[in-house]
Amino acid sequence: MTNTIEHQGIVENINGSHLRVRIIQTSACAACSVKGHCTSADSKEKLIDIVNTTGVYNVGDQVTIVGATSMGMQAVLLAFIIPFILLVGSLFIFMAWLGNDLHAALLALAVLVPYYYILWRNKDRLARTFSFSLKA
């Protein structure tokens, strides 16, 4: 198993050293030979921003973008696992403290607001952490 994620894409826009690359993101089902007969096939177009430090590219060029698989695991941790732990943990704490299920549930949901605010405030640092590069 490799430690990188690779996608083929097409350069959509160039702004100085920043490239915007359009990729087709497909699920495993989308590549299946019977996808026309199945309703679970899924594919989407995504635009990825990349800082180009290698080579000269033009709009319409086909490129390969590369990212580390650890980025995916870290994204799942930040987007799903930590909020789930915060939600469930705070729900049990508020239920024991207040004794009212409705108020405990509302306060547990309110705990997520500062968490996502902190993520939003650190979006520039996260953008540097979760970045793709071009394969030479």
State percent of the chain over pLDDT 70.
82
Task: Determine if residue 11 is left, alpha or beta; phi over 0 gives left, psi from -120 to 50 gives alpha, anything else beta.
Answer: beta
Tallying the residues shown for the chain, one arrives at: 136
- For the chain, the average pLDDT equals 83
pLDDT interval class at 132 (50, 70, 90): confident
As a whole number of angstroms, the distance between CA 59 and CA 135 comes to 17
Tokens of 136: 């030479």
Q: How far apart are alpha carbons 103 and 62 in whole angstroms?
A: 54
pLDDT of residue 87: 96
Please tell me the distance from the alpha carbon of residue 124 to that of residue 110, in angstroms, as a whole number: 24
Token pair 């089902």 is found at: 29
What are the pLDDT digits (tens) for 15-63?
Answer: 877 888 888 776 655 556 565 656 555 667 888 888 766 777 888 888 8
For the entire predicted model, the pTM comes to 0.66
Residue 77: its pLDDT value, please?
93
What pLDDT is stored for residue 114 in this prediction?
Answer: 96
Q: Residue 20, SS3?
A: strand
pLDDT at residue 118 tops 90: yes
Look up residue 66 and give its two tokens. Answer: 């590369």
**Contact at 8 Å (CB) between 75 and 130?**
yes
CB of 25 closer than 8 Å to CB of 5: no
pLDDT at residue number 27? 61
Instruction: Say whether pLDDT at 8 is over 80.
Output: yes
